[in-house]
Every structure is written in structure tokens, then in C-alpha cells.
Structure 1
């Protein structure tokens, strides 16, 4: 299954970059529809489907338990989610890590937002969303239409999230 997801991401990424062309007004058109078809296992069981988050602003954060800046920013992202979910914001954490490491971490630091286990496929998706190095942490904000409106490689700061909260 991982190979199929990786192949789909590769083709979807190329289409996504082509669809980032601006229209005559200078506005970005849209992201590739295949993005919303992606799904991953959840650490607690079940499946995280991106389709469930379509139609509202979405912050996607790529992280790992072995990444100190990732761990430092997770409480900040959790706070952003708590404060902004009533305004329609959604947050998804995508763990580029082993399931057992993520499960153990979440027992110590539970998060209010959903987490998906992307393992090795996460780096490819992060690249397609504008992270050429595949480094962590990496965050992307999409508006309600699914257009990428902000990207941040490296640890998020409160000022970043305060700015993003104003986007929709």
C-alpha cells in the first residue's frame, strides 16, 4: 500500500504544481483534488481521511518524535487548534515516524487534533506541498477552498500562527 500511496503522491504532486498557476487576477487556482483522497492510519486505531477536512481552513503539520523543534511546537499548535476551531480552523498532524514511537509520545503529550501515521510517505507529500528538502518540522495552511496560503519550514512561532488564524 505504501508504494501505491507514494506513486499516487508523485503524480499528484506534479499535477498540483501545474495547478498552482495563477489566473488573470493573480489568484492561485487550486490544489490537485487527489490531495483530499489521501488517508493514513491513526496511532489510536482507525483511519485519518483528509476528505473529512475539506471545505474549512486546515493547518497540516509534519512532525516526528525524534525532532526537537517538532516537539517544542506541538503544544503551540495544539493551543492554536483549541483557540481557533470555533472559527472553523482544523489541524492535522502527520507523524513522519514509527507507530510505536508516536503512540508512546501521545500517551505522554495528548493532542486535541487528529494525527496520521505517514511514515516514509510523509517526506514526499511535504515536498509536494512546498518543502523541497523534506526537513522537519514543516507546516502548511490551506484555505477553505484547499489552496495553500502559507508554508513554514522550521519551528512555528506564535506570530506565525496569529497571522495564519486571520486567514480563511
Structure 2
């Protein structure tokens, strides 16, 4: 019995370690194409020179919906200083729900729909929402949040990154 529990614990640690190593934690942001609600496309390369928050979310995710006002105020606070936000709706989220949510909440930042799941896959097999990445001006991922970020910490980090040349 103890041996079985030990082996199960080792397996869990191994799986978690493997997932963390596969996910882009720190390093270059993956080359991705974001298809925005208006049909236009932007790539990660288009954001070079700006600090970018990439937020994977879903309209059915209560934490995602609850954090949206904070994401909006963060965007409004820093956008004039070279900060951008892309909210990437997960592939299982019906596009009509995403459009309706974006319009009724008047989301001020870019909203993308990941119909095929390829963007979530490129960013480390994102499955849990919200998952948020902070990318610096050089296109390097500097922070990953699973769940709602600590917004005070996030704001300090954004200010540091905006101050860098």
C-alpha cells in the first residue's frame, strides 16, 4: 500500500515537472497569429517594442469574467506607455458568445478567437483558464499566471518592463 502511494506521488511529480518544462515559462514568446474579432490578424512579432499581456480566457470561466474589469483597468492605465493586451478566447468558446461579451463589456483591448486551438497549443498547451503571459519589449515571456494574477505584483512588473529600453 505504501509503495503504491509512493509510486503514485512520484508519477504526479514527474507529470507536473514534464508539463512545466514543456510550457513556455521563460524564453521567447511563440510565433503565433492572433485572429481578431474584426477578422484582422496580428502576430507576436507585431508586438515587438511593446509590453504585452496575452490572456487565455473563456466566457464560461467565472474567474475569467471576474478578472476582466481588472484587465481593462490595467490596459487603460498603461496603454499610452507602450502596453498592449490580447485576450485569446479558447477554441471551445462559441464565437458569438465572445463577440457578445466583448461588445456588451466594451473590452478596450484586442480580442482574438482561437478556433483551432493552435494558439493555445503554441503557448504551452494552455488548457486552464485564465492563463496569462506577460511578454517584454523584446518578445520574451517574463511571467506566467494560472488563475487570476496578483494585480499589484503585475502592475509593478509592467512598470519595470515599460521602463526598460
TM over 0.5, shorter chain: yes
CA deviation vs aligned residue, 1:15-59 (integer Å, no higher than 9, x gap): x96xx8xxxxxxx7x516xx34x2232223322333321221111
Aligned to 1:5: none
1: CA distance between counterparts of 2:42 and 2:112? 6
TM-score, with normalisation over the residues of structure 1? 0.71
Match of 2:43 among 49, 53, 73: 49
Shift of 1:158: 2.5
Deviation track 1:87-120 (CA, whole Å, cap 9, x = no partner) reads: 2111111111221110111121121111111133
Match in the other structure for 2:158: 165
Higher Rg: 2
CA RMSD of aligned residues (A): 2.4
C-alpha distance 100-47 of structure 1, shift in aligned 2 (>3 A): same
| CA contact 1:62–1:122 (8 Å) conserved in 2 | no
In 2, Cα distance between equivalents of 1:40 and 1:143: 18
Q: Which moved more, 1:84-93 or 1:40-49?
A: 40-49
Find runs of 4+ consecutive structure 1 residues off by over 4 angstroms. none
Query: Among residues 119, 122, 129, which one is paired with 1:125 in the alignment?
Result: 122
Matches for 1:121-160 after TM superposition, within 5 Å: 121-127=118-124, 134-160=127-153
Shift of 1:165: 2.0
Larger relative contact order (CA 8 Å, sep ≥ 6): 2
For residues 158 and 31 of structure 1, the distance between their equivalents in structure 2, rounded to whole angstroms, comes to 23
5+ residue gaps, structure 2: 1-20
CA distance in structure 2 between the partners assigned to 1:151 and 1:161 by the alignment: 10
Q: Is 2:59–2:97's contact at 8 Å kept on the other side of the alignment?
A: yes
Structure 1 segments unaligned to the other structure (5+ residues): 1-12, 21-27
Partners of 2:107 and 2:136 lie apart in 1 by 22
Equivalence for 1:79: 73
SS of corresponding position for 1:90: strand
Say if 1:127 and 1:161 are closer, same or farther in 2 by CA, change over 3 A. Answer: same
